[in-house]
Structure 1
Amino acid sequence: MSDGAPTDKMELSADACRFRALVECSSDAIFVTDFDSAEFVEVNQRACKLFGYEASELHGKVGRELHPPGSSEIVDEISSAITQAHSVTRNAIELQRKDGSIFRADLRSHRYEIDGKRLYITFVRDVSAREDRKRELRDTYDHLHDAKSQLSHSARLAAVGQLAAGIAHEVNNPAAYVLTNLELLANGIQSLQKLRDSDDYVDKKDILGTFLSETGECVEDCLEGLGRIATIVKGLRAFARIDREDVERFDPNESVITALNLVRAQVRHSATLQRRLNSTKTLAADRGKLVQVLVNLLMNAAHAIEDGGGGSGSIVVESADTPEGIRLSVTDDGPGVDPLMRERIFDPFFTTKSVDRGTGLGLSLCSDILRQHQGSLVVDPAYTQGARFEIMLPAETGLAPATVRPTGVPNPDPVRARILIVDDEVALVRAYRRSLGRYHDVLVAYDGQDALDLLKDDQNFDMILCDLMMPIVNGIEFYEKAALLAPQLRRRFVFCTGGATTVRALQFISDRGIRLLEKPIDKGTLNNAIHQSLQLRESLLVSVGTTN
């Protein structure tokens, strides 16, 4: 509906009378408008009813008067389209009734010439109900999406609950011999201290040799045990972390190994686990969700063997390249899947397990996760010696990593740096200071406020290694205040976390490109971080020198 210059109203011809009869039968509101004046010369009863006017009130009005305030842009756009293209269509635009109420309508206008008069006819269809339904559908979709995310997270946590006893076993065993070895080392050190202070003659060389031999074995065992614990915790953190999209490019074989580490203790009493990892491709995917799928399939296989019996108790996980991408499979020698149930097992809430073992959501969520990656989950109907579930993933999943993870450099020879360590774990800070203090100048603070007080007098640091979750002033707050105090320090931050990280903190770090290390941090990773910080500072100094 648009404006123009005033003109006399046209008289109806015989053809126009016949036209009017057709117009009155329409379920759309119809306006016949003089092109030059932009005034309505004819309207049908549906138009009167829809807008709340008498026909005599609409005659002589212009289209702009049926648009709500603030609609000049859309009115001008429609007028321009009619002038240039002779027709225009706009969907779900806002129009205004006589009583001031606003509704949404689809509008179609066509320009004609009749008996020498230039006219355009506008059809208006009330779509308020349609738009309300669309809005309701969008709201429903959003609610369902949130519910699905919550279900996925709940299912993941439920799986963690089922794995808890096995995970505790896998952690407690290495923790036990780490503790025993550390106690042995402590006793040995006490004995050496007594020996040092003793005036009695003893063959200290033999005693020291024995101690050093035992010490080497103890330290190796401790490192191996702590490595096992770190591997389990890392896999668990990826599996049960805060539900968020975390796409990265990685080797899917790593997800298989993580899943096997998580279920091993829980499954080993009912089945032997084997892996045949022949895939050589990488893919962009959510690592944690792929682990979730594999853990679910492995636990299902173990339950099938326990409940069905009769097999040797074998579960085999395989990976292989395909022309289209990657195939992962989980095969067991249990009773298999009833052919009549193959189509139903992926339906939500369908389960053949007891209440304490399944909710019927596992395979449904797994299938949904793989669809998000443009992949699929199927039961191999040709396999009759048990059950084989196959995961098919394309080489390109349609997902893109949010950030490119920095590639590590070989453990570099340490160059002396000034480092500020901020962490509320006192024992950890002491360990960092002992480890790094031989090669670097290390200052420490046990919370963000202490670190800020230190920075007021000293800002000359090559790297600030800061924990994210601290009392009083946390890592994010410390970063923001430090950046106000000395903006150049923003590029020198390296955050570290033990896993208790909020979505807001992760988004904050990602948006600013800050490096994030996950505890426990080994010596090589720490040295790499220091090396990168020194390189970054050197490049900035060169850049400043060049511009000057």
Structure 2
Amino acid sequence: MRDVFEAAPDAILVVDEDGRILLCNERATVLSGYTRDELLALNVDLLVPERVRSAHTSHRAAYTRAPTPRVMAGDIGLRALRKDGSEFSAEICLSPLGHSNRPLFMAAVRDITERRHQESRLSGLLEATPDAIIIVNADGKIITVNGAVSRVFGYESGELVGQSMSVLVPDDARAEHSRHRRGYFDAPHPRPMSASPNLRAQHKDGRVFPAEISLNPINTHDGILTVAAVRDVTEQRRLERQVAVSERLDSLGRLASAVAHEINNPLTYVMSNLDFLADEVGTRGGGDGDPEEIEEIIEDARQGAERVRRIVSGLRNFSRSDNERTERVDVRRILDLSCKIAADEIQHRARLIEAYGDMPKVDANETQLSHVFVNLLVNAAHAFEGTAREDNEIRISSGVDENHVIVSVQDNGRGIPVELIDEIFQPFVTTRRVEGGSGLGLPISQNIIQGYGGQINVESRSGEGSTFSVVLPIAVGEDEPTAPEGTAATPRRAKVMLVDDEPMVASAIARLLAKWHDVEVCNSADAALKQLEAEEFDIILCDVMMPGTAPRELHEQISQVRPKLAENMLYLSGGAFTEDAKAFLVSIPHRCLAKPVEIRDLLDAIENSIAAR
């Protein structure tokens, strides 16, 4: 038994009830720095730092009155004193020894200085990581955490230690989490964050957030523990959704551009022929029919075609491929047009009140800006679903501050739910899911306005209504120059080459232009190049998208034979959906007209282009 006592890896001391050391082993001399004789002459209190010696004496006296086996772990901060005055972290086990004459006690002392150093290094690593680190035992009890738990979960470190891990798990997932935990401890193994992508965690305030969690088992003197690293991926998921939305919008944009091109070409010859008929009826009369009735029929047809044109124009706003010229525009005129376009949606739902103040001009694209105002007006109209018209009001007003025009669209409808107000400009967020709202109108409108250096702001209270304010910078400098007075009204007759691969489009435009110009139609790039060798022309009017020949390639070929003519070519676009066509349109922003084109715009463009040669 003596050999076992001496061979023990811990320092062992036997003391009496007064603290006198009666027996010690070899390890005690090594650990304390005293010889055996010196230790046997000491009171155990002298092996404790002086600053805590009185407290130790009191604790020792209390223990001798009610002795029980006890482990005094190092995590309560026990310190021991060597002969040379140095201190070390200690872990101490106490046990009473039965003795016939007087009570004796055995203390086993272990130096845990190295363990403390390792724990300190580990603690430094834990605090350095941005993830919340939680160490738990097999029962799910939290043993320790790092400081990041406060940021991720909202708890202070001391609040979690000793609690069940389940407090960090959503209520509806706790039973399943408990089963998974038991299974994991049955076969512990490292598990990376990517292994379970759809995990959730619960904040102290009850908020549930998406999380990524990695697990790693560690062997300790207390058994197997698991280190869980928890990462809040709310922002990451938001960015992933944005990327997905961007990709969907990009695909939608490409589809919209292609659809717009396919619709705009037939729409061009429909509207051009209607314009031609209207002019013919006005000039020659209606024959056997009532001229006024015929004109009314043609005008109805034109209004229908114009409505299709506006729908297609809206489709094109999904795509940034079409070049949309920014110019000095009259906001009041665009508002008047927008109110007319939205009238069908508004008139059966609410009264429209227009209260305009000063409105200086802004630099914008008329079509896109009208799209924004129409979208806001239609949204306001739909805020009254299920309510009586006489109680509903949409008020559109304007004003200025030092540098901006502010146009506000206000309604007294149902308002926006508080949980959506901060996300209302995010794609696919809508208050009209039941009525079929896409959630794209406001994001597109905000994107358009921000492109002009402006902003759309919103104020809303659920059940009381909403106000959307479009803030646009006031245009600085002089208005853009216009063509000399009279040039558009009395254009000089010119020789025009019209290049378009769709015969009906080409014929309709040629028929409409024939009153003012001599038009030669070519239905392919090859035919146009051959005709240029045979005849002189004042201007070339060319479709952007033609099979077999890219617009840039045709422009370069014409430049070789008619360089001056190529410099002032005009282009018609029903929508560009190839990368080369998109890039080409960007390079010629002021020489491209969108199909279907108004005859007055086309005549102005031809006259100005010829005048610029």
Q: TM-score, normalised by structure 2?
A: 0.47
The one-letter amino acid of 2:529's match is L
SS at match of 1:329: strand
After superposition, residues 179-328 of structure 1 pair within 5 angstroms as: 211=287, 214-215=290-291, 217-219=293-295, 221-223=297-299, 225-226=301-302, 229-230=305-306, 233-234=309-310, 236-237=312-313, 240-241=316-317, 242-243=319-320, 246=324, 247-257=326-336, 259-260=338-339, 262-285=341-364, 290-307=369-386, 312-328=391-407
Deviation at 1:477, TM superposition (A): 3.5
* Match status 1:497 vs 2:573: yes
CA contact (8 A) 2:416 2:462 kept: no
Structure 2: tracts of 5 or more residues without a match:
1-236
Paired residue for 1:421? Answer: 498
Question: Match for 1:465: what amino acid?
Answer: L
**Which of 364, 368, 393 is the aligned partner of 2:472?**
393
Matched residue type, 2:519: V
Larger RCO, structure (CA 8 Å, separation 6 or more) = 2
Question: SS at 1:393's partner residue?
Answer: strand
Structure 1 unaligned blocks of 5 or more: 1-139, 187-207, 538-548
Q: Secondary structure at the match of 1:524?
A: helix
1:478 aligns with 2:557: no
Q: How does 1:347-426 map onto structure 2 within 5 Å? A: 351-354=430-433, 357-358=436-437, 363=442, 366-367=445-446, 370-371=449-450, 373-380=452-459, 386-395=465-474, 407=483, 410=486, 411-426=488-503
Structure 2 matches for 1:3-152, cutoff 5 A?
149-150=246-247
Q: Which residue of 2 aligns with 1:463?
A: 539
The structure richer in helix per residue is 1
Q: Are 2:574 and 2:594, in contact at CA under 8 Å, matched by a contact in 1? A: yes
User: Is the CA contact 2:285–2:291 (under 8 Å) kept in the aligned structure 1?
Assistant: no
Alpha-carbon shift at residue 461 of structure 1 (Å): 0.8
User: CA distance change for structure 1 residues 327 and 499 in 2, over 3 Å: closer, same or farther?
Assistant: same
Indicate how the Cα distance of structure 1 residues 288 and 151 shifts in structure 2: closer, same or farther if over 3 A, else same: farther
Match of 2:520 in 1: 443
Counterpart residue identity of residue 363, structure 2: A
Contact 1:318–1:330, Cα closer than 8 Å, also in 2: yes
Partners in 2 of 1:227 and 1:283 — Cα distance?
28
* Paired residues of 1:348 and 1:361 also in contact (CA < 8 A): yes
Distance between the aligned counterparts of 1:284 and 1:493, measured in 2? 26
Taking the aligned partners of 2:359 and 2:341, their CA distance within structure 1 comes to 23
Task: For residues 27-75 of structure 1, give each alpha carbon's deviation from its aligned partner in whole angstroms, at most 9, with x where no partner exists.
Answer: xxxxxxxxxxxxxxxxxxxxxxxxxxxxxxxxxxxxxxxxxxxxxxxxx
**Counterpart contact for 1:422–1:466, Cα < 8 Å:** yes
Question: Is contact 1:310–1:334 with CA below 8 Å preserved after alignment?
Answer: no
Q: Does 1:454 pair with 2:541?
A: no
User: For the residues of structure 2 that align with 1:536 and 1:377, how far apart are their CA atoms?
Assistant: 39
TM-score normalized by the length of structure 1: 0.51
Summarize the Cα distance change of 1:408–1:298 in structure 2 as closer, same or farther, 3 Å threshold: farther
Q: CA–CA distance in 2 between the matches of 1:284 and 1:371?
A: 12
Shift in CA distance, 332/307, structure 1 to aligned 2, threshold 3 Å: same
RMSD over aligned Cα atoms? 5.1
Cα distance in 1 for partners of 2:310, 2:438 equals 27
For residues 355 and 558 of structure 2, the distance between their equivalents in structure 1, rounded to whole angstroms, comes to 50
1:535 matched to 2:535 = no
Residue 287 of structure 2 aligns to a residue whose secondary structure is helix
- Of 430, 440, 444, 2:507 maps to 430
After TM superposition, give the deviation of residue 218 of structure 1 in Å.
Answer: 1.8
Distance 1:263 1:446, change over 3 A: same
Q: Alignment length, in residue pairs?
A: 360
The answer to whether the 8 A contact 1:320-1:328 is kept is yes
Write the deviation string for residues 262-281 of structure 1: whole angstroms up to 9, x where unpaired: 54444544345454444431
Find the residue that maps to 1:330 and give its secondary structure: strand
How far the C-alpha of 1:305 sits from its partner, in A, is 0.5
Shift of 1:426: 2.4
**Partners of 1:259 and 1:295 within 8 A in 2:** yes
Do the aligned residues in 2 keep the contact of 1:463 with 1:530 (CA within 8 Å)?
Answer: yes
Q: 1:216 to 1:345 in 2, by over 3 A?
A: closer
Cross-structure match for 1:7 = none
What is the CA deviation profile of residues 63-121 of structure 1, one whole-angstrom value per residue up to 9, with x for unaligned ones? xxxxxxxxxxxxxxxxxxxxxxxxxxxxxxxxxxxxxxxxxxxxxxxxxxxxxxxxxxx
Distance 1:372 1:141 in 2: 23
Matched position secondary structure for 1:211: coil
Are 2:329 and 2:365, in contact at CA under 8 Å, matched by a contact in 1? no
Describe the SS at the equivalent of 1:416: coil
Identity %, equivalent residues? 28
- For the residues of structure 2 that align with 1:432 and 1:341, how far apart are their CA atoms? 48
Alpha-carbon distance, 1:513 to partner: 6.3
